[in-house]
Structure 1
């Protein structure tokens, strides 16, 4: 029979969740547990206790509230500290009003609903834990495609509506899926009963803050030490590039992406991409915006605000390389932008590139590209990896 956790750690966890809704960077250590310190992540708090760990995700859209709490119980927990988590879960949910989920670690048969985490898990040496994926058509990792072809990884449908029957059929122990504001839940997945890991790292306000979440994912998959080491290497490379960019004598401004239908989605000034541009010592027309997500703007608004940007970086999904005539065929108004006129447009074809699999947890790779493009006076960095200059 499973034993209950003692009342002292239980009260400590309740106090922790009451104090930590705002994110990991401001949380004080709680008696009875060891708080994991994060240098950059602002929306994640982790406290370790004897035999279990509590991870708290701050709600990105409602300041001061908790999005989700996870009680991580390792399979190797000492006898007497193991628990089914039922009593603890009920107490925490009553105190915070947020979802609380027990996760038995390490995860071994997981569905990954975003290509971002496929790349991360492969880098952490846990590709074998991926047993299902969503949005396979958007995944460019050769290994994932091959495993799907061989039937070792299941195609679980669209990320917005995963196929529950397929998830049950492969006996998945959890699903990693991105939360969205006012999403209304996860449909039939809410009836599943196994852990739904809400991957809210994309709402962090810095590139290193998002990348630091790999420590949490390392805990979930039993490779915490490797995740810590990998992040330390990435942090070192990223900060070295930031220092290098500050030595440049060239200053260029950057426009991002293009209009989609009636809306131009522009990264907010506090988004990870907005902050990478700033760290590259480049100017960003929307840098004063405090949004950590995307802004939904009209063509006219972007033209007014960023029409004189020196460089235009855009991500696109196409069978053929992007050209200037192609851009004009999509919208004649693009000809009004300075970067278009001066042929300073750089495209990243996400249908063939591993941009989305690589850069969220390796932001140094993206930073390097932007520095190369915006600081031609700096040498020794080689050629860009993702963004290529559009042919005339």
Structure 2
């Protein structure tokens, strides 16, 4: 009897171990795509299909969305890939499509006048990308006529009736949350989101790796700056000066450029709302002033606020703005291209403040306000 009981116990444990190994083996078939910086999405490869999980797309909501990417579409949460006809709703999506060589997949866009890319503007002129009106009140009739396989949405609020109506019409909607990433490389890594939808994941990985390498190379070069270069950022809107907080997206650029941003030690990932007097008191002697509104000249600045001329950066002509570089219809190139090319933004900051560190580099986004 004792021998039988012992044999039973041994058999039980062997079965349990086998079962555990089988579970572990099944678990190992799930492969999560390697995302180094982006926090807002994941791509999980399972047995024969992929799952796209969108973790955050709205500022004040952590609602997640899950989609099955497969070569067929059987239910509403499945997206057939590669997507061959799509509509996107933010200009930041345009360069990602173009870098992947998939600009021909774009068939419609709201507010096409904001698109700066010469390549996509040519397609608009040729009637290959259709104007769909404003993003919040898109012309759904035109959208239905285009019959896209997917709409990549962008919205500040989760309860958007427009996108609900599009989904009711049978057109899948996937929200893109690249704009909520808190690091420059995190935002750029959303090119892998489009890589998954277009079946170009290897290409997306390769493109991102090159952007990352250029960014980290520039960051390393910036360490050679041993000067205490002080910078301020932002400008007045009505009675408030919006200054990037110490843990904000743009503050990380200043940190990586090895610049002494005067509000680097503050908390928060958004903006600080300060008075003019507070900024003047702390930033009057700053060496450089970036993002001084969408002004192209010092005259425009002083027309907006005569007291801007009290800053040393104004006096010494060290003011820089993104307002000068525009597409042919007035769209700002910075807003469109910089999210996927943070390496160029970082190089701009280094070139402006320490030009000897990047002697052969030409500015991509910023210009001096004269």
Shorter-chain TM-score bucket reads: 0.7 to 0.9
CA shift in 2, pair 1:51/1:346, >3 Å: same
Q: 1:288 aligns with which of 234, 241, 265?
A: 265
Mapped contact 1:259–1:299 kept (Cα < 8 A): yes
C-alpha distance after superposition, 1:95-131 (max 9, x if no partner) = xxxxxx4322222221121111111111110000111
Mapped contact 1:251–1:282 kept (Cα < 8 A): yes
* Residue 205 of structure 2 corresponds to residue 219 of structure 1: no
1:344 aligned partner = 318
1:155 aligned partner = 131
Q: 1:58 aligns with which of 55, 62, 72?
A: 55
2:149 aligned partner = 173
Mapped contact 1:138–1:351 kept (Cα < 8 A): no
Higher-RCO chain (CA-CA 8 Å, sequence separation at least 6): 2
**Partners in 2 of 1:109 and 1:238 — Cα distance?**
32
1:259 aligned partner = 236
* Residue 350 of structure 2 corresponds to residue 374 of structure 1: no
CA shift in 2, pair 1:268/1:105, >3 Å: farther
**Partners in 2 of 1:279 and 1:221 — Cα distance?**
32
Gaps of 5+ in 1: 1-28, 76-81, 87-100
CA shift in 2, pair 1:293/1:67, >3 Å: farther
CA shift in 2, pair 1:126/1:270, >3 Å: farther
CA shift in 2, pair 1:169/1:296, >3 Å: farther
Q: 1:73 aligns with which of 66, 69, 86?
A: 69
CA shift in 2, pair 1:107/1:378, >3 Å: same
Q: State the TM-score, normalizing by the size of structure 1.
A: 0.78
Q: How does 1:224-373 map to 2 (within 5 A)?
A: 224-314=201-291, 322-349=296-323, 350-352=325-327, 354-373=333-352
Q: 1:201 aligns with which of 161, 178, 201?
A: 178
1:121 aligned partner = 97
CA shift in 2, pair 1:59/1:289, >3 Å: farther
Measured after TM superposition, the shift of residue 70 of structure 1 is 2.9
C-alpha distance after superposition, 1:23-64 (max 9, x if no partner) = xxxxxx95551112211122322211122222223337789x
Task: Give the CA RMSD over aligned residues.
Answer: 2.6
Mapped contact 1:112–1:130 kept (Cα < 8 A): yes
For the residue of structure 2 that corresponds to 1:192, the secondary structure is: helix
Q: 1:106 aligns with which of 71, 74, 82?
A: 82
1:187 aligned partner = 161
Mapped contact 1:214–1:361 kept (Cα < 8 A): yes
Measured after TM superposition, the shift of residue 297 of structure 1 is 4.4
* Residue 366 of structure 2 corresponds to residue 384 of structure 1: no
Measured after TM superposition, the shift of residue 280 of structure 1 is 0.7
**Partners in 1 of 2:286 and 2:78 — Cα distance?**
48
Mapped contact 1:204–1:271 kept (Cα < 8 A): no
**Partners in 1 of 2:91 and 2:366 — Cα distance?**
19
